[in-house]
Amino acid sequence: MKNHKLRFLIILPLFVGCFTLFGQDDEDALFLKGIHDYTLKDGMCYKWLEHLSEEIGGRLAGSEGSELAVAYTAEELMKIADTVYLQPCQVPYWVRGDEEVVHLINSDGKHIDIGGLALGNSIGTGPDGVLAEVIEVFTLDEVKSLGEKGISGKIVFYNRPMDPTKIRTFHAYGGAADQRVNGPALAAEYGALGTIVRSLTTSIDDFPHTGVTRYKEGGPQIPAIAISTMDANTLHDMLTKDVVNVYMKSNCRMVAESKLSYNVVAEIKGSTYPDEIILVGGHMDSWDVGGGAHDDGAGCVHSMQVLETLRKLDYKPKRTLRCVLFMNEENGLGGGLAYAEASKANGEWHMAAIESDAGGFTPRGFSVDANDPIFAGLYRQLLEWDDLLQPYFLSFSKGGSGADISPLKGQNGLLMGFRPDSQRYFDFHHTANDRIHAVNERELKLGAAAMTSLVYLLDNHGLSFDDE
């Protein structure tokens, strides 16, 4: 008899433990299905994105479009959040001005008129434009080797393609972006008169891709224009058999180094742990051309959808959920820095922050970042949700999070990046073609549902931050 009782006492807790565990997993699985069902059927994200991309359009920091977007998203968020406020930040205000002119001129004097887009934050050429011989380079080191003798008085043409063999296109982008970001400043140091940059895409097409460039503080500044990959190939071919001059004209300019703008912040207060913040966000600003549909309208509406879905499912979060639409990611990070500063001043702690800034494509999962020594322990906790996320083809991987939330790393919480399929992203990135037609509604909604699922799990279960 005694023996039997003992067995019972040992077995009971195991059984109850199993049962509870099984019950919780079931409840989670059911809730994740509810999130997906609601989002796919009734989620607002695609309609919001259509408005941002097509009604408002380009939303560069400081522009009228950016102001309209702040007003529109704040209004929409008021329908679904407890609190919505505009958080001031300082941003540069750069304008493109008139359409750029780029001519390739061979030794017979024949002009080929090609398209171009001035790089963000770059200076214009002045009304007369710049005319000079072109020199093609593939790396920044090549500019250094050529030195003043080889570079001075010339227009430098950076033409290293993105590596098509990288499976993740962001890796290929990372391997080529130095030309656009730092190439003009370096060429200027050696006396170049202007810079032409091959567009950052693996696609061979006729769309120039803009993007930010950085001059060195106090260093010389020269005009910089991106040309399409097709035109870059044409110029390359011309250069193999001829001396080529380029005429470039732009009147882009920095209107103000610092102008008042806003992040949009929307919050649902946590019921049990209101001081533990879970942030979802994207960036509101986009380049002036196109509609910023994938970059990063998608990330904004993903984040808004998280709140809408949880509200519509009548979920009461234990922790404080905050949706932040950051201003000025593209050419300054004014919004991200202001947010982090205010958060620090308020003594806040972000248990987790998730940024979506990789487009509105089919979700594949999330990349995970945190400071050592807590990283390994947090990552292990996330992997316990693998089975719950597997029906939606989502998984975790190690990697970066997002530019806007990266200043929060000092808070020692979890940082994550939403990771959709990356194959088409750089077909549209920073071009006039980044419009709603490039976004598939189901793919966008699945991304929003993925984000919401993760937020639900983080909120419902929390994370243990004990060092391991």
Give the footprint of a copy of itself on this chain (CB under 8 A). Answer: 36-37, 40-41, 164-165, 167, 169, 202-203, 362, 364, 391-393, 421, 423-424, 427, 440-443, 446
Q: In terms of CB distance, is 46 or 157 closer to a copy of itself? A: 46
Smallest distance from a copy of itself to CB 421, Å:
5
Smallest distance from a copy of itself to CB 377, Å:
23
Q: In terms of CB distance, is 371 or 395 closer to a copy of itself? A: 395
B/e letters for 443-455, b = 16+ CB within 10 Å, e = fewer, are bbbbbbbbbbbbb
Smallest distance from a copy of itself to CB 440, Å:
5
Q: How many Å apart are CA 280 and CA 266, to the nearest integer?
A: 10
Q: In terms of CB distance, is 42 or 75 closer to a copy of itself? A: 42
Q: In terms of CB distance, is 50 or 427 closer to a copy of itself? A: 427
Q: Are 179 and 160 in contact (CB under 8 A)?
A: yes
Closest alpha carbon to 309 in 73, 53, 81:
81
Q: In terms of CB distance, is 5 or 41 closer to a copy of itself? A: 41
Q: Are 353 and 265 in contact (CB under 8 A)?
A: no
Beta-carbon contacts of 189 under 8 Å, excluding residues fewer than 6 positions away, are 216, 219, 220
Structure tokens at 181: 């970001």
Element (DSSP H or E) covering residue 238 = helix 229-241
Q: In terms of CB distance, is 29 or 260 closer to a copy of itself? A: 29
Q: In terms of CB distance, is 7 or 398 closer to a copy of itself? A: 398
Q: Number of helices (H) and strands (E), helices first, in the chain?
A: 14, 16
Place of tokens 């905050």: 322
Structure tokens at 22: 């099984």
Q: In terms of CB distance, is 339 or 392 closer to a copy of itself? A: 392
Which amino acid, residue 214? R
Chain centre to alpha carbon of residue 108: 44
B/e letters for 80-95, b = 16+ CB within 10 Å, e = fewer, are bbeebeebebbbbbbb
Smallest distance from a copy of itself to CB 393, Å:
7
Smallest distance from a copy of itself to CB 151, Å:
31
Q: In terms of CB distance, is 166 or 269 closer to a copy of itself? A: 166
Element (DSSP H or E) covering residue 174 = helix 169-174
Q: How many Å apart are CA 135 and CA 157, to the nearest integer?
A: 6
Q: How many Å apart are CA 181 and CA 406, to the nearest integer?
A: 19
Sheet harboring 111-114: ordered strands across? 111-114, 101-105, 245-249, 130-137, 155-158, 194-198, 224-227, 117-118
